[in-house]
Structure 1
Amino acid sequence: MKTKFLLLTAILLLFSNCAVIRPGEAGVKQTLGKFSDDVITEGTVIYNPFISKIIKESTQTNNIKLVLSLPSKEGLSVDSEISILYRLEQNKIPSVLENLGQEYEDIITSVFRSASSDVCAKFYAKDMHSGMRSTIEEEIKIKMEENLLKQAEGIELIAVLMKSIRLPRGLANSIEEKLQAEQDAMRMEFVIQQAKLEAERKIIDAEGERDAQIILATGLTPEIIKIKSIDAFNRLSASPNSKIIITDGKTPMLINPNE
């Protein structure tokens, strides 16, 4: 029994001083409170559990989600869902743990709150709901990087994303009314333009018809009229249908020889 007990104790001690670092993780050994500069990657590491421990951190992209009100230039509060995408630089994890501790996400959140207040206060509320949003996100990201570098290296900010922007009700209604008015103005401008084009088309048609009549009138000489009359009689005489043609002996009845 004593041998089995010692064997079981040895097995437990063996497993208690082993740590497994999985893909997407990195480990740092902390001995008597001091962090090692060596970063442990995938695999198994053996350590003395009485004086040391292995702190494992993710090296994958992480997402911090926040819901908060952002101030605007005109003093309004704009509610928004925020995503902060970041990852730890593997070789600088000891620096992050030493300077910020394992609760470094709280530091990132605090830095964001400060940076977002400074940046958003320079923009109008409507800008956060328009194409200016990407500019605001980039400026917040740059401001956060500056503030984080003052405290520790090793946190790589990938993006700051502002989602589900909710403007104050009064401002949202004003923006919708303005957009509707702009659409109505554009629609009216289109109708007016179409009317102008139609009027120009009618003028061109009328001018073309007038010019055609002038050309036709100037080209109808007595000789032309006689030739057309003879041609008409020839076509009529060739027709198999019975017909009665009344003339004055000179020209058809349809043509007034005095005109």
Structure 2
Amino acid sequence: MNNNRQLDLKFPKGGFMVVLLAVITIIAFSKSTETIKSGQAGVLYKTFGGGVVTDEPSLGEGFHIVAPWNKVFVYEVRQQEIFEKMQVLSSNGLEIQLEASAWFQPQSENLGLLHKEKGENYISRVIQPAIRSAARSVVGRYTPEQLYSSKRDVIQEEIFVETKKILDKQHIQLNEVLVRDVTLPATIKSAIERKLKQEQESLEYEFRLVTAQKEAEKQIIEAKGKADANKILSASLTDKILRDKGIEATMKLSESPNSKVVIIGSGNSGMPIILGNQ
């Protein structure tokens, strides 16, 4: 009798059911909530309602109540980056090692379609194959020399454009493709460097020739200008002008305190004859 009273004190009538219901409620509540962190979005899967929800916006950041029989798949929707190191062939069949990276993010408005069609492994299923395919297509148009020197920026832009065409149809937003390194076979690289050096030396030599030619032309023009000026001056100097200039110079000399000037008649040219010493 005492034992029964003790049991009654420990477990009031209906107490076990209350505890059980409380536990069930806590578990159900925890299974019915989803917290989406910053930079993420959720795709709702309705077990009894048609599967993946594609005709409604994805679940945004914050706290959400979800029926316990449904499920939420969480995706990173911020910009992400992947690195690719691949072997590709140039236009003449030489093997080139290309290192590139891509900046991308899922299209938030189509996140449900991305999950339904591609799944959570969409990076390896879609993005990586797209970049590799575009890189092989683009690099195959150029020679190793173009890849090594002048066409790096052009190649990068073309890979971006071709990759974006593919990913836009796969519900993925491509922001940028960066070609980080192009590695050629050592022998090809050395040959290209020698050729570039020779071309640079040739350009420098041509520049010196052009500079020398221009300098020679300048001197010819200056000499011709002086000759033409002297010719014009000679033509303008008549006997009368020369005689007047001579008389003017003689008068200035006669006024000099350091000179004794004697003028005797005139010379054959009509100019005065000047005798004297200092």
Residue 97 of structure 2 is aligned with which of 48, 72, 79? 79
Range 123-132 or range 37-46, more displaced: 123-132
Distance 1:187 1:10, change over 3 A: same
Kindly report which structure 2 residues correspond to 1:146-157, keeping only aligned pairs within 5 A, or say none.
Answer: 153-157=170-174
Aligned pair 1:95/2:95, yes or no?
no
Which residue identity does 1:221 align to in structure 2?
Answer: T
Once the 2 structures are TM-superposed, how far is the Cα of residue 186 of structure 1 from its aligned partner? Answer: 2.2
* Aligned residue in 1 for 2:230: 213
* Aligned residue in 2 for 1:42: 61
Aligned partner of residue 84 in structure 1, secondary structure = strand
Residues in 1 aligned to 2:164 and 2:253: alpha-carbon distance in whole angstroms: 98
Distance 1:7 1:102, change over 3 A: same
Residues in 1 aligned to 2:162 and 2:239: alpha-carbon distance in whole angstroms: 94
Once the 2 structures are TM-superposed, how far is the Cα of residue 102 of structure 1 from its aligned partner? Answer: 0.7
Unaligned runs of 5+ in 1: 255-259
Count of aligned residue pairs for this structure pair: 250
Residues in 2 aligned to 1:214 and 1:146: alpha-carbon distance in whole angstroms: 75
* Aligned residue in 2 for 1:257: none
Residues in 1 aligned to 2:225 and 2:158: alpha-carbon distance in whole angstroms: 63
Offset from partner CA, 1:17-72 (integer Å, 9 cap, x none): 321123432101234493233321233112244x3332111222221112222221
- Asked whether the 8 Å contact 1:229–1:252 carries over to 2, the reply is no
Residues in 1 aligned to 2:148 and 2:206: alpha-carbon distance in whole angstroms: 27
- Asked whether the 8 Å contact 1:119–1:140 carries over to 2, the reply is yes
Residues in 1 aligned to 2:167 and 2:63: alpha-carbon distance in whole angstroms: 32
Once the 2 structures are TM-superposed, how far is the Cα of residue 187 of structure 1 from its aligned partner? Answer: 1.9
Aligned partner of residue 202 in structure 1, secondary structure = helix
Aligned pair 1:127/2:146, yes or no?
yes
Kindly report which structure 2 residues correspond to 1:22-61, keeping only aligned pairs within 5 A, or say none.
Answer: 22-32=37-47, 34-37=51-54, 38=56, 39-49=58-68, 51-61=69-79
Which residue identity does 1:14 align to in structure 2?
Answer: F
Aligned pair 1:173/2:190, yes or no?
yes
Residues in 2 aligned to 1:18 and 1:158: alpha-carbon distance in whole angstroms: 33
Residues in 2 aligned to 1:242 and 1:136: alpha-carbon distance in whole angstroms: 86
Once the 2 structures are TM-superposed, how far is the Cα of residue 92 of structure 1 from its aligned partner? Answer: 1.8
* Aligned residue in 1 for 2:273: 252
Range 139-148 or range 230-239, more displaced: 139-148
Residues in 1 aligned to 2:105 and 2:90: alpha-carbon distance in whole angstroms: 29
Aligned partner of residue 260 in structure 2, secondary structure = coil
Once the 2 structures are TM-superposed, how far is the Cα of residue 138 of structure 1 from its aligned partner? Answer: 4.6
Dislocated runs of 4+, deviation >6 Å? 1-6
Residues in 2 aligned to 1:148 and 1:203: alpha-carbon distance in whole angstroms: 66
Q: Which structure is larger by alpha-carbon Rg, 1 or 2?
A: 2
Residues in 1 aligned to 2:191 and 2:200: alpha-carbon distance in whole angstroms: 14
Aligned partner of residue 131 in structure 2, secondary structure = helix
Range 68-77 or range 217-226, more displaced: 217-226
Once the 2 structures are TM-superposed, how far is the Cα of residue 140 of structure 1 from its aligned partner? Answer: 3.8
- Asked whether the 8 Å contact 2:90–2:140 carries over to 1, the reply is yes
Unaligned runs of 5+ in 2: 1-9, 11-15, 267-271
Residues in 1 aligned to 2:236 and 2:77: alpha-carbon distance in whole angstroms: 93
Aligned pair 1:243/2:259, yes or no?
yes
Distance 1:252 1:82, change over 3 A: same
Offset from partner CA, 1:119-143 (integer Å, 9 cap, x none): 4223322333345444444544455
Residues in 1 aligned to 2:235 and 2:159: alpha-carbon distance in whole angstroms: 80
* Aligned residue in 1 for 2:130: 111
* Aligned residue in 2 for 1:202: 219
- Asked whether the 8 Å contact 1:92–1:153 carries over to 2, the reply is no
TM-score (norm 1): 0.79
Identity across the alignment (%): 28
